[in-house]
C-alpha cells in the first residue's frame, strides 16, 4: 500500500502558539513527502473527523503555513467536544477509524490537553484491535500548564508573559493615580483548578522593580479576613496594591467566589466575573477606590507579546510529533525536558499517553509563599525561562499584526453515511 496520509486536529481552548505546533507538524510532514502523504486537518477539531469534514492542508501555500507560526488561535478550528468513554459511545471511536481508513490516514496528531491525550490513546488502541492500525501522537497544548511529565505546556509561557506584563503595566498606572484616585487594581485571569497563570502575575514584581502584588490562587482557600488584612498592609506601605485573581478561587467549602452556574460542553463549571466581586469587597470593607479588568480571551490570544521560548517549543513539539511517528512510535507525546535555568536549556523527551491522559498537574506547594498570596523563588526560577524572549509577528502599514486566515479547502468525502455529533 502507498504511503499513509496524516490527520491533524486542534482540541479545546486555543492558545497564542497552537498554530506554531500546526506549523511544525505540517512543515515537517512536507519535508518527509517520501514517507508521509497529505496532512488533512479536522475542521473544528475532532468534529471534523467524525463528520468527515477534512481540510486539505496541501492546498495552502508554504508562505501561509509558515505564517501559522506567528498567528494565534486555532487556524483549522477547534472544539470543546470530549469523546465519551469507549463503553458509552464505542460508535464514535469506530467512526473515527472508518474515516481514517477511508482517507488512508495512518498518522493521528492530536493537539490538545489531558482530555485529548485520552482520546488519542483510545483511538490508537481501538484501531489496533480493529485491524486498521493508526499511529496516534499527542501534541501538548494548554494555557493551564496542567499536563504531567512535560516540564511545561506550549501555550502557557505566552499567557504567563502576557499576564506578568499586563500586571506590571497596570500597577505602574495605579501607582501614579493612587494619591487621589484608584488604590487597588484587580486583574482576573484564567485557571479553574491550577494557579499557574495567576502565579505569573507575581512576576510583575522583581528585584529591580518592586510592585505590591497579591495573588489569589485556586489552590489556597479564600479567607476574606486574611485577604483584606493583606490588602490594607500593602496599601499602607506602597500607597496602592495590585491583585491577580484566578477565576477558580473558592472558599473553604469549595464554593467559587463567582459561580454563574453555567457549565461548558466538557461539564466543567463556566466561571467569570470574580474580579468585580473582589473589587467590591475591597471598597465596601476598606473604602479604597478600585479598578478591575478581566483579561479573558485576550490573555490566551495575545500573540503580539508571545514568549519566544513558548513559540519555539510549540513548533518543536509539532515537529517532534511527526519525527516520533516516522520512528514508528505510537501512543506517545513529545515533552519538554528542562536541562538548566541559567542559561535556559531544554531538550525534547517523550511520554507514554497512558501516563499523560486525564492526569492534572497542580502547582507544587513549594511555589506558593507561606502567607498564600505570593510566589517563591523556586516558582520564579521555573517561570522566568518560559517567558523569556520576544517573538514579534510582522505588522502592516495600518499598524496591525499580519495574521493568516487559511483557505481551508475541503477534502472530498468518501463515505456515504453522515455522522451526527451529539
Q: Which residues are catalytic?
A: 144
**Which range touches a second copy (CB under 8 A), out of 29-37, 160-168, 228-236, 328-336?**
160-168
Per-residue x/- mask for a second copy, residues 221 to 260, rule CB under 8 A? ----------------------------------------
Per-residue x/- mask for a second copy, residues 174 to 193, rule CB under 8 A? xxxxxxxxx--x-x------
* Ramachandran sector of residue 372 (left: φ over 0; alpha: ψ -120 to 50; beta: rest): left
Q: Is residue 143 at the binding interface for a second copy, with CB under 8 A as the rule?
A: no
Q: Is residue 168 at the binding interface for a second copy, with CB under 8 A as the rule?
A: yes
The answer to whether 109 and 6 have CB atoms below 8 angstroms apart is yes
The answer to whether 161 and 131 have CB atoms below 8 angstroms apart is no
- Least distance from C-beta 355 to a second copy, angstroms? 28
* 108 versus 290: smaller Cβ distance to a second copy: 290
CA distance 100 to 102: 6
* 290 versus 315: smaller Cβ distance to a second copy: 290
Among 38, 141, 183, 300, binds a second copy (CB under 8 A): 300
Report the first-to-last Cα separation within the chain, whole angstroms: 35
Q: Is residue 213 at the binding interface for a second copy, with CB under 8 A as the rule?
A: no
Site residues for a second copy, 262-291, by CB under 8 A, read 264-265, 272-273, 275-276, 291
Site residues for a second copy, 388-407, by CB under 8 A, read 388-390, 392, 395-403, 405
CA distance 412 to 383: 45
Output the 3-class SS for 122-139: HHHHHHHHCCCCCEEEEE
H helix runs in 291-416, sequence order: 297-301, 308-326, 353-356, 377-386
Per-residue x/- mask for a second copy, residues 308 to 347, rule CB under 8 A? -x--------------------------------x-----
Q: Which residues lie below 8 Å from residue 161, measured CB to CB, with a gap of 6+?
A: 200, 305, 306, 307, 310, 387
Among 85, 209, 229, 371, binds a second copy (CB under 8 A): 209
Nearest to 23 by CA among 70, 56, 79: 70
Give me 325's grid cell. 511517528
- Least distance from C-beta 120 to a second copy, angstroms? 19
**β-strands 269-271, 259-263 pairing:** antiparallel
Q: Is residue 380 at the binding interface for a second copy, with CB under 8 A as the rule?
A: yes
Q: Which residues lie below 8 Å from residue 192, measured CB to CB, with a gap of 6+?
A: 144, 218, 247, 248, 268, 269, 271
- Least distance from C-beta 344 to a second copy, angstroms? 9
Q: Is residue 304 at the binding interface for a second copy, with CB under 8 A as the rule?
A: yes
**Separation in Å, CA 303 to CA 43, 158, 297:** 22, 8, 11
Q: Is residue 132 at the binding interface for a second copy, with CB under 8 A as the rule?
A: no
Q: Is residue 4 at the binding interface for a second copy, with CB under 8 A as the rule?
A: no
* 72 versus 113: smaller Cβ distance to a second copy: 72
DSSP bridge partners of 385: none
Site residues for a second copy, 63-92, by CB under 8 A, read 71-81
* 317 versus 387: smaller Cβ distance to a second copy: 387
* 340 versus 405: smaller Cβ distance to a second copy: 405
Give me 156's grid cell. 502557557
Among 8, 109, 292, 367, binds a second copy (CB under 8 A): 292
* 86 versus 265: smaller Cβ distance to a second copy: 265
* 31 versus 345: smaller Cβ distance to a second copy: 345
Give me 2's grid cell. 502507498
Amino acid at each position: 500500500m502507498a504511503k499513509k496520509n496524516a490527520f491533524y486536529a486542534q482540541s479545546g481552548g486555543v492558545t497564542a502558539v497552537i498554530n506554531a505546533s500546526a506549523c511544525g507538524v505540517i512543515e515537517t510532514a512536507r519535508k518527509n513527502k517520501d514517507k508521509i502523504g497529505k496532512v488533512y486537518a479536522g475542521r473544528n477539531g475532532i468534529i471534523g473527523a467524525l463528520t468527515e469534514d477534512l481540510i486539505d492542508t496541501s492546498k495552502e501555500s508554504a508562505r501561509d503555513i509558515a505564517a501559522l507560526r506567528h498567528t494565534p488561535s486555532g487556524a483549522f478550528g477547534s472544539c470543546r467536544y470530549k469523546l465519551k468513554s469507549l463503553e458509552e459511545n464505542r460508535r464514535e471511536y469506530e467512526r473515527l477509524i472508518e474515516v481514517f481508513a477511508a482517507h488512508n490516514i495512518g498518522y493521528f496528531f492530536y493537539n490538545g490537553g489531558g482530555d485529548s491525550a485520552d482520546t488519542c490513546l483510545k483511538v490508537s488502541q481501538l484501531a489496533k484491535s480493529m485491524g486498521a492500525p493508526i499511529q496516534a501522537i499527542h501534541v501538548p497544548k494548554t494555557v493551564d500548564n496542567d499536563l504531567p511529565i512535560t516540564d511545561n505546556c506550549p501555550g502557557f509561557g505566552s499567557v504567563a508573559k502576557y499576564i506578568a506584563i499586563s500586571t506590571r503595566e497596570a500597577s505602574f498606572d495605579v501607582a501614579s493615580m493612587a494619591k487621589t484616585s484608584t488604590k487597588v487594581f484587580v486583574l482576573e485571569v484564567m485557571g479553574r483548578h491550577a494557579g499557574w497563570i495567576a502565579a505569573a502575575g507575581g512576576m510583575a514584581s522583581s528585584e529591580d522593580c518592586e510592585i505590591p502584588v497579591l495573588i489569589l490562587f485556586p489552590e489556597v482557600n479564600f479567607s476574606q479576613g486574611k485577604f483584606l488584612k493583606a490588602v490594607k498592609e500593602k496599601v499602607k506601605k506602597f500607597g496602592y496594591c495590585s491583585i491577580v485573581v484566578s477565576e477558580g478561587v473558592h472558599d473553604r467549602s469549595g464554593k467559587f467566589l463567582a459561580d454563574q452556574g453555567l457549565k461548558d460542553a466538557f461539564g466543567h463549571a463556566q466561571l467569570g466575573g470574580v474580579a468585580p466581586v473582589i473589587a467590591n469587597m475591597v471598597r465596601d470593607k476598606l473604602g479604597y477606590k478600585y479598578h478591575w479588568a478581566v483579561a479573558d480571551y485576550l490573555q490566551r490570544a495575545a500573540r503580539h507579546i508571545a514568549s519566544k521560548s513558548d513559540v519555539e517549543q510549540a513548533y518543536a513539539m509539532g515537529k517532534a510529533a511527526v519525527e516520533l511517528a516516522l520512528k514508528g512510535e505510537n501512543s506517545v507525546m513529545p515533552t519538554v525536558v528542562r536541562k538548566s535555568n541559567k542559561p535556559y536549556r531544554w531538550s525534547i523527551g517523550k511520554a507514554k499517553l497512558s501516563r499523560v491522559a486525564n492526569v492534572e498537574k497542580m502547582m507544587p506547594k513549594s511555589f506558593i509563599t507561606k502567607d498564600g498570596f505570593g510566589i517563591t523563588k523556586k516558582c520564579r526560577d521555573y517561570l522566568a525561562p518560559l517567558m523569556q524572549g520576544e517573538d514579534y509577528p510582522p505588522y502592516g502599514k495600518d499598524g496591525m499584526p499580519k495574521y493568516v486566515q487559511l483557505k481551508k479547502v475541503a477534502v472530498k468525502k468518501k463515505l456515504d453515511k453522515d455522522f451526527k455529533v451529539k
